[in-house]
């Protein structure tokens, strides 16, 4: 019998561990590099006339013997009265719903619901960023420049603290009180040296890793300030339907960051092309970047392509969209935990 599972109940019981999530994400990304479209399709979005959108992420988690999809909705606003906003405002959010099927029998295995709120932990995005960052940063990386101070920044800091020996985190976001409050919270939660700073340049000073984990619609730092050896991860992602409806293409980094990066990776190049995503698609369209120079994170994990070649290179990873194989792997993990503990109810 199929199960109806409350993701939040599994979380409340303390069954979700960042180490497990990062490990399953790494395995899922390696499978993406090996099997490609057999285990993952690029995210698809439908934007209705009221501006609410629905996103669908389909994939297969073969270590669990399951395949399926995750769907969710939100009402994103990136412009007002014909002018672009500096940050994306999400006026409404629909819950995550995961649907899992048995890969051997095609039978429905589970439906999992996860409620969404502004303080919820985003395991899927943060774990993906952590895996990519670990593979591309210098091994001696200890300091982080963090741009953002909301739920994505919070989730990413939890994940990054599991994959690098963080000694110092400098945080910049536009609202001084937000960044100060965030630093106090995370200093207590993770026992890290957190420092709210007044400018992007202060955040970048002596950083090894640079992370954009925010709702920005514009570049958060000038690429000219990057130093040799830095790694940059950005989660900003746009899509053509959003741009067509509201006239804004979201970007997390500027052209100079792309031009100065020696190694560039995205999740799936087809996603970038399909959505005409900001930084990368425009760089290719304007001729200072070629598709051949762009790597996919799955190929890096599957050892089909190389990453950083030396300690002086600047590397860039655009975690540019949710990945179906990661979403379904996370759901499969929750399904396994629920079955082991007798959680959920039969449909």
| Residue 50, domain CATH | 3.30.1780.10
Place 143 in a pLDDT band, splitting at 50, 70 and 90.
Answer: very high
Give the global pTM.
0.96
Are residues 142 and 66 part of one domain?
no
The first and second tokens of residue 345, run together, are 């109810």
Listed residue (233, 219, 310) closest to 264, CA to CA: 233
Is a pLDDT exceeding 80 seen at residue 117? no
The answer to whether the CB of 239 falls within 8 A of the CB of 245 is no
Cα 142-144-147 angle, rounded to 5 deg:
175
Look up the domain containing 47 and give its range.
3-119+324-346
CA-to-CA dists, residue 153 to 125, 149, 169, 240, angstroms: 11, 5, 12, 25
Q: How confident is the model over 90-96, as a mean pLDDT?
A: 93
Place 81 in a pLDDT band, splitting at 50, 70 and 90.
Answer: confident
Write out pLDDT tens, residues 53-62.
Answer: 999 999 999 9
Are residues 237 and 111 part of one domain?
no
Place 137 in a pLDDT band, splitting at 50, 70 and 90.
Answer: very high
* Mean of pLDDT over the chain: 95
Is a pLDDT exceeding 80 seen at residue 161? yes
Is a pLDDT exceeding 90 seen at residue 277? no
The first and second tokens of residue 49, run together, are 């006339």
Are residues 287 and 157 part of one domain?
yes
CA-to-CA dists, residue 346 to 12, 109, 149, angstroms: 20, 10, 40
Are residues 89 and 152 part of one domain?
no
Length of the chain: 347
Local structure of 51: helix, strand or coil: coil
Are residues 242 and 97 part of one domain?
no
Is a pLDDT exceeding 90 seen at residue 65? yes
Whole-angstrom distance, CA of residue 184 vs CA of residue 202: 18
Is a pLDDT exceeding 90 seen at residue 242? no
Query: Per-residue DSSP letters for 108-140?
Result: EEEEEEE---TTS--HHHHHHHHHHHHHHS-TT
Specify the higher pLDDT residue, 178 or 239: 178
With residues binned 3-state (H G I as helix, E B as strand, rest as coil), the percentages for the chain, rounded to 5, are 40, 25, 35
| Residue 211, domain CATH | 3.40.50.720
Per DSSP, helices labelled H in the chain are 7-12, 18-35, 123-136, 151-160, 176-190, 200-204, 240-246, 255-260, 269-275, 278-285, 297-301, 324-341
- How many percent of the chain have pLDDT more than 70? 99
CA-to-CA dists, residue 284 to 31, 254, 293, 308, 315, angstroms: 27, 14, 10, 21, 17
CA-to-CA dists, residue 85 to 80, 231, 244, 249, 257, angstroms: 7, 27, 15, 11, 22
Are residues 336 and 299 part of one domain?
no
Are residues 260 and 128 part of one domain?
yes
Listed residue (22, 21, 57) closest to 40, CA to CA: 57
Is a pLDDT exceeding 80 seen at residue 120? no
Are residues 86 and 22 part of one domain?
yes
Place 327 in a pLDDT band, splitting at 50, 70 and 90.
Answer: very high
Place 119 in a pLDDT band, splitting at 50, 70 and 90.
Answer: low
Domain count, the chain: 2
Local structure of 1: helix, strand or coil: coil
Are residues 276 and 158 part of one domain?
yes
Range with the lowest mean pLDDT among 10-14, 87-91, 218-222, 293-297? 87-91
Q: How confident is the model over 78-97, as a mean pLDDT?
A: 89
Are residues 159 and 114 part of one domain?
no
Question: Euclidean distance between the first and final Cα of the chain, in Å?
Answer: 7
Are residues 195 and 55 part of one domain?
no
CA-to-CA dists, residue 201 to 64, 197, 207, 244, 330, angstroms: 45, 9, 10, 33, 36
Are residues 288 and 161 part of one domain?
yes
Q: Decide the pairing of beta strands 231-234 and 209-212.
A: parallel
Residue owning tokens 């800091």: 157
């Amino acid at each position: 019998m199929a199960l109806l599972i409350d993701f939040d109940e599994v979380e409340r019981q303390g069954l979700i561990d960042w180490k497990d999530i990062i490990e399953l994400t790494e395995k899922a990304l390696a499978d993406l590099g090996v099997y490609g479209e057999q285990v993952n399709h690029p995210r698809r979005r439908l934007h209705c006339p009221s501006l609410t959108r629905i996103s669908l992420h389909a994939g297969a988690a073969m270590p669990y013997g399951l395949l399926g999809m995750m769907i969710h909705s939100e009402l994103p606003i990136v412009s007002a009265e014909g002018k672009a906003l500096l940050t994306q405002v999400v006026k409404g959010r629909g819950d995550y719903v995961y649907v899992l099927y048995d890969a051997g029998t095609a039978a429905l295995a589970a439906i999992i619901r996860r409620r969404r709120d502004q303080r919820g932990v985003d395991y899927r995005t943060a774990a993906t960023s952590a895996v990519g960052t670990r593979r591309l940063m210098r091994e001696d990386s200890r300091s982080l420049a963090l741009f953002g101070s909301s739920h994505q920044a919070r989730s990413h800091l939890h994940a990054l603290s599991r994959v690098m020996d963080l000694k110092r985190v400098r945080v910049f976001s536009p609202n001084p009180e937000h960044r100060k409050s965030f630093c106090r919270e995370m200093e207590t939660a993770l026992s890290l040296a957190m420092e709210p700073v007044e400018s992007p340049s202060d955040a970048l000073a002596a950083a090894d890793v640079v992370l954009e984990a925010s709702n920005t619609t514009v570049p958060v730092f000038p690429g000219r300030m990057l130093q040799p050896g830095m790694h940059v991860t950005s989660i900003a992602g746009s899509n053509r339907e959003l741009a067509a409806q509201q006239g804004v293409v979201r970007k997390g980094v500027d052209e100079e960051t792309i031009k100065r990066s020696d190694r560039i990776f995205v999740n799936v190049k087809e996603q970038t092309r399909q959505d005409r995503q900001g930084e990368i698609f425009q760089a290719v369209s304007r001729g200072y970047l070629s598709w051949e120079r762009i790597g996919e994170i799955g190929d890096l994990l599957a050892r089909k392509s190389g990453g950083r070649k030396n300690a002086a290179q600047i590397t860039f990873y655009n975690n540019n969209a949710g990945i179906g194989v990661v979403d379904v792997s996370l759901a499969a993990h929750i399904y396994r935990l629920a079955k082991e503990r007798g959680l959920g109810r039969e449909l």
